[in-house]
Structure 1
Amino acid sequence: MGKHRLEPMFNPQGVAVFGASERPGAVGTMVLTNLIEAGYTGAIVPVNPKHDTVQGLPCRPDLVHLDQPVDLAVIATPAESVPGILRQCGLAGVMSAVILSAGFGEGGGGTGNGKRLQRECLEIAQQFNIRLLGPNCLGIMRPGIGLNATFSHNQALPGNLALVSQSGALVTAVLDWAQSRGVGFSAIVSTGDAADLDFGDLLDYLALDPQTTGILLYIEGIRDARHFLTGLRAAARMKPVIVLKSARHAAGSRAAATHTGALIGGDDVFDAALTRAGVVRVERITQWFSAAQILASGLHLPGDQLLILTNGGGPGVMATDRAADLDVPLATLAPETIAALDQVLPPTWSHGNPVDIIGDATAERYADSVRLCLADPGVHMLIVMLTPQAMTDPTACARAVIEQAQKQTRPAKPVLVCWMGEGLVRAARDLFDAAGIPQFRSPETAVEALSYVLAHKRNQQVLMQTPGPLAPAAASDIEGARLILAAARSAGRRVLTTRESKAVLNAFHIPTTPTVLVRDADEAMLAAESLGFPVALKISAPALTHKTDVGGVRLNVRSVQTARQQVQEMLNTVRSAHPDVDIEGVTIERMAEVGHARELLIGVARDPVFGPVIAFGMGGVAVEVMRDRAMALPPLNAVLIDRLIQNTKAARMLGQFRDAPPVVAHGVERVLMRISELVCELPEVAAIDINPLLAGESGVIAVDARIELTERVSVLDRYAHLAIHPYPAHFVRSWTLDDGRTIMLRPIRPEDAEIEQQFVRGLSEETRYLRFMRVLDELSREMLVRFTQIDYDREMAFIALYTPPSGEEIEIGVTRYSLEPDGETAEFALVVADEWHGHGVGSHLLEALVDYARQRGVRELVGEVLLRNANMRKLCAGLGFTERLVGNDEDIVRISRRL
């Protein structure tokens, strides 16, 4: 793997400080002081034409004829001087810069001159391939190498937590908190206005950083959702990420024109994005600190069953209540454990969880209780609490708990403590900090801290699942749907009629009720009689979103006479109340019969940051009152759809209850899968409302539908509207062999986990060794997830499939590339099943990979091949790859091709 683009910033050989001085309070003074006092061992080069020396170091007027290695420039000069400094850095070969200066029109305000300066800085940086942090930021710290390139008054301790924050002020608060608790950091980054480097870039680096085991993010806003989520998902697959976001109640994506829009706010969408990425979110700074303390302790959770041990009943109840609030399950003590506790506790102990060991508990009683509870196999984690009472020695009890926690065999069960009070427990807290045991000041915060670790574990389980195979499905008529949308736009409309909306849904095989439009009461009689009774009558006027609110809905109409009368009354009423609205007429539909119908809502709204979001919940006329909804970002798969449904109250209605049989198997799931496909393939769609979607034991059907179009559509990237790159279904190819067999080539998907495993198992030992360069019988679960759950925005894998007469797909070859940290090079691999050698499978796969990589902007494909792998070397040579030996290793050659 190549060197990451941000390596010069995080691990520089030398640092130049522009604006270094000795003037008290000056930013340049503080930065240089911090570098010296932090013990940075690389070259420190003060740059200031007004001084010969600064703080005891030789000072240069510029970087011309630089004779020391400098990778990082820290700029603390007025904004007007920064472009010239960056040009100077570029000529001197400096690869990264931190711009501390303000005055660039930050925050969307400022002067036009500030924005111009920022654009000029970016142009110069791109010209010289310099990566910029800031402007208007606190700077960067790398405590492990003594790098403190900030103007903070704090020095950070070395550790394994990385902190990335849009707020410099918050960074200083975290540092102050961390110092008092002995929490260290692998890196601290203040992004400032993020003109160049943003969360996505920084997460991409920290995901691979061996010094970082956990990441804390403070976010105020996201500029590039795709880049952010790509980096976040990559990081979350490798290490815990905990997010604190401000402005939780911003209106964001609210669009009251639709039911879905009225239910969704910007913060809801942000939550959906974080859930999709497998990270944990907290709401308050205190919770963030608690989460940081847990991360710093490196806790391992063998399960999710919590035991609470206390010497006071009240705190135990408080902890229990908070556990119930956060869905943290309480452990049930084994009978053997209860019997053992009976031998060491007073008869009046609680005999359950919480384990109340009574107010006069001694250190010995704490030690015995903790030891016995930790030995219970049904207890996975422990919160030990103490209230300082007259007969209690908090310090001695603390020593007892620490001793028992440290006596455990590895991996140890987590032990958290809550010694309540201040002066009487201060010494005990110091002991806990020194022992590395997370300690909290209230029962609630202790439980919350564990809930974050549990939430992370649960999200990771969803993130790392391998969904089962997809059931065969009829192809959607995407082009037909696009023609319907284009016709509406050509007519000057952005809101489709009910009939048009249902036609688009039908194109994606979403069942709808047949709809007939009538202009007057006489036409209504004929239509109703033709459809068959009972029927539903609905006003057709795209500008009237909620038909029920204007008297535009009649249900269960059972005769011709009633249909004629009610259509005329409806037209008269609506036209009188809304004389300026264009009314097409009335739609007549046969009443849907699905058996014991449940009314559901499926909707789509467009968030200004994350793009389309899919909502699901209970539907009907009271949907805004019920406010039962869950959200997810497309694209969806079976696992994500199941989680989306289970996060609603509506989920409980889909099974059997009272006299209602369960909803038809997988009916709702199939509709959600099709909606996901529709959203991905039709960027013109801004909003969808299917309300109600009726679901019963005999089927699922969309009774009413509304689709709204965007103002304009980008044609440069078919998936530019999505925050997560979907499965590129359009990149499917097939060819026929000389013997008549047809081979299909398509991108891999998570549902291919089983056939991928079977493919690797079926390879000969020699072929497996040539591919993986080590002995391997089958893919581990982690490898299987990594190989099938790919991020199509930064990697690709194509598989070749043969379907024999039995009808079961067989994988016969696979090729893949993964973008390297430089953002321009991709490492690739290729393997073909032994019995399919010599049929051109490898050539087709590699040609498809080269074509896709070129389209995605990859400049070079590289790979390593064993020297003895003659077939692979010959294949690559025929496709324009060149090769050379790798260093001193005579067994491996590096093959590459410029694209």
Structure 2
Amino acid sequence: MDGEAAYPAHWEADVVLSDGATAHLRPIAADDADRLVDFYARVSDESKYFRFFAPYPRLSSRDVDHFTQVDHDDRVALILLVGDDMIAVGRYERVDSTDAEVSFLVEDGHQGRGVGSVLLEHLAQVARERGVRRFVADVLPTNRRMATVFADAGYTVESRYEDGVVHAEFEIVPTDDSLEVMAAREHRAEARSIERLLTPRSVAVVGASRRRDTVGQTLVRNLVAGGFTGPVYAVNREASAIAGVPAYPSVRAVPDDIDLALVAVPADAVEEVVLDCATKGVRGLVVVSAGFADTGEEAGRERQAELVRTARAHGMRIVGPNCLGIVNTDAAYSLNATLAAVVPPAGRVGFFSQSGALGTAILGDGAARGLGLSTFVSAGNRADVSGNDLLQYWRDDRATEVVLLYLESLGNPRKFARISRRVAAVKPVVAVKSGRSTQGVPLGHTVRPIEAPQPALDAMFRQSGVIRVDTISEMFDVAQVLAYQPLPDGDTVAVLGNSGALCLLAVDAAVNAGLDVRGDPVRLGAAASAGDYRDALAELVADADVDSILVVFAPAVDASSGGDVAHAIAQMARTSPKPVVTTFLGSRGVPESLRVVDEHGVPARGSVPSYPSPEEAVRALGHVSTYARWRRRSRGTVPEVAGCDPEAARRVVAEAWRGSAESGTDLDTEQLGRLLSTYGVDLLPMIPAVTLDDAVAAADRLGGEVVLKATAEHLRHRPDLADVWRNIDTADELRDAWQTMSSTLADPAEAGFVVQPMAPGGVPVVVRAQEDPMFGPVVSFGVSGVATELLGDRSYRIPPLTDRDCAEMVREIKAAALLMGYHGGITADLAAVEDLLHRMSRLVDDVPEVRSVELNPVLVAESGLAVVNGAARVAPPSGRSDWYTRRLP
């Protein structure tokens, strides 16, 4: 027996298996003895033989004690639960300081669901945390399933055949291959979990009422009126039928299988419903009931957390609570499981909304514009299913060509950035993120606010290829172009129309949107006919220097000719390889006269979107052109950077915070220098000088020209004070500098004077990186000085940084000209700056214990650079939301 050991609760996780169902993973405990015995009794003799290499029909009491009583260090076991039943166990036992023997046992009925790969991921993460670096395992040659788990994990497995057993060994340090395998498995599993929700064969409405205008009856009526193709059941203890569908007293009483349950009962009754659904084998839940974390009370938050725990433990995922519902317009399902009676027609746009309150208005606006949807999910409190899950689903969904997101919070920004970049590479993603001015989190969203500055969030969207807009109306404006028109090949727009004033407004708007205007607007005159429009459009479509076209039609008196003009515009746009948008009679959406309809009468590719004003049309085109440019360009690669030693950096950090508070500690100059050196960055020597004699001695020790500098934070970069004295090469000059600088300070003892070697001249820049509890690491760059601080002239990126990311960071700030010979200045070594950005981004990405680091100033010369000063704070890692294991938040 290993004695009492602290239970590592942070190893617990809800996970999604390969079939889309959920399970709960946690460390084994001594009170799991009966659970282990029951599990083992359900395992087949063959699986037991594969595990123990001999017939082993039952576990002895000694076996049970040995397997359930572990120290969570040298002996670790993780179990997977569905409901209260154990379905699998994975364990390792340490062989020596770096190696551990790993083994698995999975109940036969759950094999083939990706259980082994999930257990391996989590065991490897636990092992790394405990200092294990390599797994070893003995596998029978006939146990092909287990051998496949190791081989397919992305690790480099070395195996040899000895005495009838295959002996496998592999390093468990995360590699690009292993992380790619994990991401691919996560994608498939989470996409499948959403598919289970959106493609039900049968639906039950729990809380259906015979009273009109109640939530439950509204759900039933919308399902039936929407033409849901499967059976609908009402659950009501007092009725035999509701709104024409059969009713039953409980979910379990329904005689047929239930795939999806819509829950509309009071909040305190929801948990009982969830357990009832679990017993019935329901695959997913949509909880429209309010009264959870949206109340703002602790009881409501705990009720919501328990709802999620219970549902996931029984294999179910939840949309909501406090949500509007879900829609799937596919004719095979025709699912309107929402409180909205009006939904847009079938189309190619997938829409995720965190707001239930706005959902009805959003759906109504989409329907009014004629913008067709493939699927719609309103997540409400977003306790479980999130935008990340929908992105996973929509990435491969053939029915969805454009993704729209209305986000009130980001529960896992690192994962969002990773997934959205992959989605945006194949189909556009348009997002509205509310709370821009406050970064606040609405009631009901149990996530922490993002501490990173707003420009960092904007940079994350741009870096990921997401089109970020400010309003829902603007999101629909952009979606109309993306859904119906091709992407432009460049940024040049041509303007034509019958209103000179509107054409000039369009030109101004195009320039403001960052577009290039092709020549002067083509003015057709107030009396322009349909033929005039057709000829002008044909000429612009054939012009190789035109990438997109804006058409204005606003007749001065009589709009009766509008039908012919609309037909001409639609005819030319239908075959145009360039996007065509219009301001047509001030209408918004896709007017019927400008539509190309498919066999279902739904607007299809080639339909021409219209906007009330040229400014709105051009703004939408500008967003689309920016996205198309992102799609065309190379993303770059994450380069290999020599001289980076994460283990050495962790040793420096661990030594620095030893004995410090949990909040961490600031590094002194010597510690900072050692930390930076582990990533190939040299900090210019800096010797503290409390007295003038100390300064003279330091200058003598350094030799050559030196600098006297005040490092106290309240004195740095003060325009009214001299905080640096340069080019000191004699003791007398140093004394003069000391006295002159001290005379301007109220208390020279607090100046934090230091003496440094004189660095070569250059442009001063600043590189910062910080660890956000939600966001993970964020890196920023700017020219050093008061102006940058006041104007916020910084660029931001989220690691890992590609070579293109670093090149753009350096060049996109407004003061970049200072690095490129502005007004006769030097041309700075930009390659050296980019190398420094790579090194600092690697440091904070590899070592999350580094909570913040600032290099300021860094003097960039024509060749090379010098890091003159810096600061860093370190603390124990808080745990990033996107780590090396698959887990639900």
* TM-score strictly above 0.5: yes
Query: What does residue 38 of structure 1 align with?
Result: 226
Identity %: 32
Which of 122, 134, 137 is 2:323 aligned to? 137
Q: What's the C-alpha RMSD, in Å, of the aligned pairs?
A: 3.1
The question of whether the paired residues in 2 share the 8 Å contact of 1:103 and 1:110 is answered with: no
Q: Mark the CA change 1:660 to 1:573 in structure 2 (over 3 Å): closer, same or farther.
A: closer
The question of whether the paired residues in 2 share the 8 Å contact of 1:398 and 1:428 is answered with: no
Q: Distance in 2 between matches of 1:428 and 1:647?
A: 37
Query: What does residue 398 of structure 1 align with?
Result: 566
Query: What does residue 128 of structure 1 align with?
Result: 314
Q: Distance in 2 between matches of 1:298 and 1:370?
A: 15
Where in structure 1 are there 5+ consecutive unaligned residues?
Answer: 254-262, 332-351, 715-719, 726-791, 795-822, 825-856, 858-899
**1:496 paired to 2:667:** yes
Can you list the C-alpha shifts for 1:274-299, whole angstroms capped at 9, x where unaligned? 12322111112221110121232142
Q: Distance in 1 between matches of 2:586 and 2:389?
A: 43
**1:599 paired to 2:764:** yes
Q: Distance in 2 between matches of 1:264 and 1:97?
A: 33
Q: Distance in 2 between matches of 1:81 and 1:193?
A: 18
Q: Distance in 2 between matches of 1:700 and 1:157?
A: 59
Can you list the C-alpha shifts for 1:395-452, whole angstroms capped at 9, x where unaligned? 33222222222354xxx32211112547xxx999441246721111111111111122
Taking the TM superposition and a 5 Å limit, the aligned residue runs for 1:151-190 are 151-190=339-378
**1:629 paired to 2:794:** yes
**1:380 paired to 2:547:** yes
**1:654 paired to 2:819:** yes
Q: Distance in 2 between matches of 1:547 and 1:70?
A: 69
Aligned residues: 679
Taking the TM superposition and a 5 Å limit, the aligned residue runs for 1:12-161 are 12-106=200-294, 109-144=295-330, 145-161=333-349
Q: Mark the CA change 1:10 to 1:246 in structure 2 (over 3 Å): closer, same or farther.
A: same
Q: Mark the CA change 1:510 to 1:354 in structure 2 (over 3 Å): closer, same or farther.
A: farther
Q: Distance in 2 between matches of 1:481 and 1:113?
A: 41
Can you list the C-alpha shifts for 1:3-48, whole angstroms capped at 9, x where unaligned? 6122221100100000112312210011001000000011101001
Deviation at 1:659, TM superposition (A): 3.9
Which of 477, 481, 498 is 1:290 aligned to? 477
Query: What does residue 466 of structure 2 align with?
Result: 279
Q: Mark the CA change 1:252 to 1:663 in structure 2 (over 3 Å): closer, same or farther.
A: farther
Can you list the C-alpha shifts for 1:120-160, whole angstroms capped at 9, x where unaligned? 22232122111111111111111222111111232331111
Query: What does residue 104 of structure 2 align with?
Result: none
Query: What does residue 443 of structure 1 align with?
Result: 614
Query: What does residue 756 of structure 1 align with?
Result: none
Deviation at 1:204, TM superposition (A): 1.3
Query: What does residue 533 of structure 2 align with?
Result: 366
- SS of the counterpart of 2:666? coil
- SS of the counterpart of 1:440? coil
Which of 725, 728, 731 is 1:554 aligned to? 725
Q: Distance in 2 between matches of 1:557 and 1:301?
A: 59
Query: What does residue 219 of structure 1 align with?
Result: 407
Which of 641, 644, 664 is 2:806 aligned to? 641
Can you list the C-alpha shifts for 1:615-672, whole angstroms capped at 9, x where unaligned? 1122124321343211001121212211222322343333345544532361111100
Q: Distance in 2 between matches of 1:554 and 1:547?
A: 14
Structure 2 residue identity aligned to 1:117: R
Structure 2 residue identity aligned to 1:68: D
Query: What does residue 581 of structure 2 align with?
Result: 416
Deviation at 1:522, TM superposition (A): 1.0
Q: Distance in 1 between matches of 2:657 and 2:755?
A: 21
Q: Distance in 1 between matches of 2:773 and 2:650?
A: 24
Can you list the C-alpha shifts for 1:654-701, whole angstroms capped at 9, x where unaligned? 334554453236111110010011111222222222222111212111
Q: Distance in 2 between matches of 1:589 and 1:428?
A: 67
The question of whether the paired residues in 2 share the 8 Å contact of 1:166 and 1:219 is answered with: yes
The question of whether the paired residues in 2 share the 8 Å contact of 1:521 and 1:565 is answered with: no
**1:564 paired to 2:735:** yes
Taking the TM superposition and a 5 Å limit, the aligned residue runs for 1:567-578 are 567=738, 570=741, 576=747
Q: Distance in 1 between matches of 2:262 and 2:458?
A: 35
- SS of the counterpart of 2:799? coil
Q: Mark the CA change 1:405 to 1:223 in structure 2 (over 3 Å): closer, same or farther.
A: closer
The question of whether the paired residues in 1 share the 8 Å contact of 2:344 and 2:370 is answered with: no
Q: Distance in 2 between matches of 1:281 and 1:306?
A: 21
Query: What does residue 694 of structure 2 align with?
Result: 523
The question of whether the paired residues in 2 share the 8 Å contact of 1:143 and 1:185 is answered with: yes
Where in structure 2 are there 5+ consecutive unaligned residues?
Answer: 1-17, 21-191, 442-449, 598-606
Deviation at 1:202, TM superposition (A): 2.1
Query: What does residue 132 of structure 2 align with?
Result: none
- SS of the counterpart of 1:6? helix
The question of whether the paired residues in 1 share the 8 Å contact of 2:639 and 2:803 is answered with: no
Q: Distance in 2 between matches of 1:319 and 1:394?
A: 20
Query: What does residue 354 of structure 1 align with?
Result: 521
Q: Distance in 2 between matches of 1:314 and 1:265?
A: 44
Query: What does residue 594 of structure 2 align with?
Result: 432
After the TM superposition, which of the residue ranges 691-700 and 96-105 deviates more from structure 2? Answer: 691-700
The question of whether the paired residues in 2 share the 8 Å contact of 1:38 and 1:155 is answered with: no
The question of whether the paired residues in 2 share the 8 Å contact of 1:250 and 1:267 is answered with: no
Deviation at 1:481, TM superposition (A): 6.4
Q: Mark the CA change 1:251 to 1:40 in structure 2 (over 3 Å): closer, same or farther.
A: closer
**1:460 paired to 2:460:** no
How does the TM-score come out when normalised to structure 1? Answer: 0.70
Query: What does residue 801 of structure 1 align with?
Result: none
How does the TM-score come out when normalised to structure 2? Answer: 0.71
Q: Distance in 2 between matches of 1:9 and 1:138?
A: 15
Q: Distance in 1 between matches of 2:647 and 2:707?
A: 29
Deviation at 1:547, TM superposition (A): 7.2
Deviation at 1:530, TM superposition (A): 3.7
- SS of the counterpart of 2:279? helix
Taking the TM superposition and a 5 Å limit, the aligned residue runs for 1:762-801 are none
Q: Distance in 1 between matches of 2:475 and 2:591?
A: 20
Query: What does residue 887 of structure 1 align with?
Result: none
**1:690 paired to 2:859:** no
Structure 2 residue identity aligned to 1:190: S
Can you list the C-alpha shifts for 1:242-279, whole angstroms capped at 9, x where unaligned? 001111112679xxxxxxxxx99632222122123221
Q: Distance in 2 between matches of 1:251 and 1:127?
A: 32
Can you list the C-alpha shifts for 1:314-355, whole angstroms capped at 9, x where unaligned? 222221222222212223xxxxxxxxxxxxxxxxxxxx3322
Deviation at 1:544, TM superposition (A): 6.9
**1:679 paired to 2:867:** no
The question of whether the paired residues in 1 share the 8 Å contact of 2:771 and 2:848 is answered with: no
Q: Distance in 2 between matches of 1:508 and 1:468?
A: 16
Q: Distance in 2 between matches of 1:469 and 1:509?
A: 15
Structure 1 residue identity aligned to 2:436: R
Structure 2 residue identity aligned to 1:713: P
Q: Mark the CA change 1:92 to 1:544 in structure 2 (over 3 Å): closer, same or farther.
A: farther
Q: Distance in 1 between matches of 2:574 and 2:388?
A: 39
Q: Mark the CA change 1:135 to 1:507 in structure 2 (over 3 Å): closer, same or farther.
A: same
Query: What does residue 312 of structure 1 align with?
Result: 499
The question of whether the paired residues in 2 share the 8 Å contact of 1:137 and 1:193 is answered with: yes
Q: Mark the CA change 1:251 to 1:200 in structure 2 (over 3 Å): closer, same or farther.
A: closer
The question of whether the paired residues in 1 share the 8 Å contact of 2:684 and 2:756 is answered with: yes
Deviation at 1:477, TM superposition (A): 6.8
The question of whether the paired residues in 2 share the 8 Å contact of 1:161 and 1:184 is answered with: yes
